[in-house]
């Protein structure tokens, strides 16, 4: 009997641990959602985990009317930023990969230097470069414009894309690239027909990562956006907190609305994200 109970008990225990972890993780999410449906008084006067009674949509309506434009602004910025950063980053990563696999020792040194610069671009805290960046934007007359913001975002997320993709591209077996060379493919074709498809899960992981990171970026739009009509969602959610008080219910509703888009993207592409992470750990078996 003991041998039959053993595995069942183990499985139950495992499930239990998972359930506990999920509950712990879901509590704040639940609180955010539920408090958005309360009145502002109810948020401060009732327990955060209490259901919303009476149930009201006022906060969501309020948040939506304030966030609709910033959501669009963010989408219009984040999509080009993440797609450009991922594709250009991947191309750069492939070039770096070629340099480091080159016969010529000089190429390998150049490759290493560029790689170090790219890493620096990724790891440098962008808060530290914010002032010079703002001054630069003023000088080139792009402060407060869409293009200025796009350039600023690309400055930080393109190296991230290149760094992440160079990790994924390094897992592409060199014989595949060599086979494509022997088959007469140009570098452009090797990249788009062989390297990119083979690293697709990694590419999509990179894309998701950059979407989420740039969507949540707060400092860049805080400093570089000057016109309230162009505000991005990460800054706009702060509108409900002022110097004299906070609209808690609207803040919660805004937080939910602001995370919906990255959440939807993650749900649709999440399986690639996980496959990409697996590829990092398990070599090139994609």
Partner 1 sequence: MVNITVRNVTKIFKSRNKTVVALNNVDLEVKSGEAFGIVGPSGAGKTTLMRIIAGLEVPTSGEVLFDNEVVSKDGKIIVPPEKRNIGMVFQNWALYPNMTAFDNIAFPLRNQKLPEDEIRKKVKEIAEILGISHVLSHYPRELSGGQQQRVALARALVKSPSVLILDEPFSNLDASLRDGARALVKKLQETFKVTTLIVSHDPADIFSIATRVAVLVDGKIEQMGSPLDVYNNPKSLTIAKLVGEIITGKGVVTTVNGKKVIKYGNLIFQPAFEIPANDSEEVEFGLRPEDVKISKDEKLEGFEFAGKVIVKVSSYSGGAFRIVVSPIENEEIELYALSDIPMKVGDVVNFFYRKDKLKVFPVK
For residue 272, CA distances in Å to 15, 41, 110, 205 come to 25, 43, 32, 6
- HSE of 233 in the Cβ direction (CA atoms, 13 Å)? 29
Residue 15 interacts with partner 1 (CB under 8 A)? no
Q: Which is nearer to partner 1, 28 or 282 (CB)?
A: 282
In whole angstroms, the minimum distance from the beta carbon of 173 to partner 1 comes to: 8
Instruction: Name residues contacting partner 1, limited to 166-225 (CB under 8 A).
Output: 173, 175-176, 178-186, 189, 193-194, 197-198, 200
Q: Exposed, middle or buried by CB within 10 Å (0-12, 13-18, 19+), for 200?
A: middle
**CA 122 to chain CA centroid, nearest Å:** 14
Residue 109 interacts with partner 1 (CB under 8 A)? no
Q: Exposed, middle or buried by CB within 10 Å (0-12, 13-18, 19+), for 158?
A: buried
Neighbours of 187 (CB within 10 A): 15
Q: Which is nearer to partner 1, 28 or 197 (CB)?
A: 197
User: Is the separation of the CB atoms in 177 and 194 below 8 Å?
Assistant: yes
Q: Which is nearer to partner 1, 175 or 244 (CB)?
A: 175
Q: Which is nearer to partner 1, 134 or 200 (CB)?
A: 200
In whole angstroms, the minimum distance from the beta carbon of 190 to partner 1 comes to: 9
C-alpha 102/C-alpha 283 separation (Å) is: 22
How many residues bind partner 1, per CB under 8 A?
20
In whole angstroms, the minimum distance from the beta carbon of 207 to partner 1 comes to: 18
Residue 125 interacts with partner 1 (CB under 8 A)? no
In whole angstroms, the minimum distance from the beta carbon of 170 to partner 1 comes to: 17
Q: Which two tokens stand for residue 101?
A: 């696999």
Contact residues toward partner 1 (CB under 8 A) are: 103, 173, 175-176, 178-186, 189, 193-194, 197-198, 200, 286
């Amino acid at each position: 009997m003991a041998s039959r109970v053993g595995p069942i008990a183990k499985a139950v225990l495992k499930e239990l641990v998972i359930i506990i972890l999920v509950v712990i993780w879901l509590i704040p999410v639940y609180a955010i959602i539920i408090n958005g449906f309360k009145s502002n008084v109810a948020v401060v006067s009732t327990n955060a985990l209490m259901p919303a009674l009476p149930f009201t949509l006022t906060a969501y309506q309020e948040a939506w009317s304030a966030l609709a434009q910033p959501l669009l602004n963010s989408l219009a910025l984040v999509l080009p930023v993440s797609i450009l950063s991922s594709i250009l980053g991947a191309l750069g990563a492939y070039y770096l990969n070629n340099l480091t696999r080159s016969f010529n020792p000089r190429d390998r040194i150049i490759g290493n230097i560029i790689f170090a610069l790219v890493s620096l671009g990724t790891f440098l805290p962008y808060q530290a470069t914010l002032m010079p960046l703002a001054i630069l934007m003023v000088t080139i007359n792009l402060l407060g414009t869409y293009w200025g913001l796009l350039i600023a975002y690309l400055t930080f997320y393109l190296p991230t894309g290149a760094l992440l993709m160079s990790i994924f591209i390094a897992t592409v077996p060199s014989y595949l690239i060599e086979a494509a060379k022997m088959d007469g493919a140009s570098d452009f074709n090797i990249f788009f027909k062989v390297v990119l498809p083979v690293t697709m899960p990694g590419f999509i992981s990179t894309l998701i990562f950059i979407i989420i990171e740039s969507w949540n970026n707060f400092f860049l739009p805080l400093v570089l956006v000057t016109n309230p009509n162009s505000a991005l969602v990460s800054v706009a959610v702060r509108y409900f907190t002022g110097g004299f008080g906070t609209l808690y219910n609207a803040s919660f509703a805004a937080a939910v609305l602001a995370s919906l888009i990255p959440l939807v993207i993650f749900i649709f592409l999440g399986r690639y994200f996980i496959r990409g992470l697996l590829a990092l750990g398990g070599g090139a078996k994609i």
